[in-house]
Amino acid sequence: MPAISAPSSAGQLPSPDGKPTPTFSPDDVTVVFVLGGPGAGKGTQCANLVKEYGFTHLSAGDLLRAEQDRPGSQFGGLIKDCIKNGAIVPMEVTVQLLENAMTETIKNAAATASTPTSGPGGPAAAGKSTKSKAKFLIDGFPRKMDQALMFEEAVCPARFVLFYDCPEAEMERRLLERGKTSGRSDDNAESIRKRFRTFVETSMPVIDHYEAQGRVIKVDATATPAAVYKDTRGKITRFLGDSL
């Protein structure tokens, strides 16, 4: 594959144990990994959380699909083949795209916050900003343990994993229905089943790892989207509390 640099930690010193210092501190940034099999409804639930709580939704799949279509991308062909075959894109590519998106989001938020505005007390002083904690839902990532470890060491430790649990038969039904209109090359029976196998073999160990640390919120995703969101909302509110 073409070479890609590892996620940067520019301007940060190595930690005493020799590991890289993450680009973002969990004191300033809340990261939630959102996992579940293909068709579990992760995107729908993320959209609800964005609307209610102001999270930024980063879909690893969407970032990869955008990169594969970006003119001049050196990774476009590689990403396209991986997605079509239900394989996992090399982690260096995915982690770098996620870090880039987080950096851009935080910079844009800082620029917006520092823009003078008028209020009851008159124009705000130039450069004055209100600092708020950035909150990211990272959808469909990490799909393997090495991705999880690389992201947490180089980019930012995650607060927890939000896991949408759904039977394979129901996920396949949803995806085949979506495939009638989505135009996505991986919404066909053969690709769907490959994606199921990949999820069980590589992503479930990630969930087991975080569950052993008490960092998994599990939600039954078989109900209606509204019922699933009600369950999601209650559980993350109890977990995050004032962080929301």
Give binding residues as ranges. 39-44, 65, 87-89, 140-143, 147, 178, 184, 195, 223
Closest CA to 100 of 108, 88, 89, 111: 108
Instruction: Please report, in range form, the residues annotated as the binding site for a ribonucleoside 5'-phosphate.
Output: 65, 87-89, 140-143, 147, 184, 195
Token duo for residue 8: 């940067």
Exposure b/e, 42-73, CB count within 10 A at least 16 = b: beebbbbbeeeeebbbbbbbebbbebbeeeee
The answer to whether 145 and 206 are in contact (CB under 8 A) is yes
* Longest CA span, the chain: 62
Token duo for residue 218: 């599990």
Query: Which contiguous run of DSSP H or E holds residue 232?
Result: helix 225-240
Which residues have CB under 8 Å from 107's CB, separation 6+? none
> Phi and psi at residue 143, in whole multiples of 5°?
-100, -5
Cβ neighbours, 10 Å, residue 217: 21
Instruction: Please report, in range form, the residues annotated as the binding site for ATP.
Output: 39-44, 178, 223
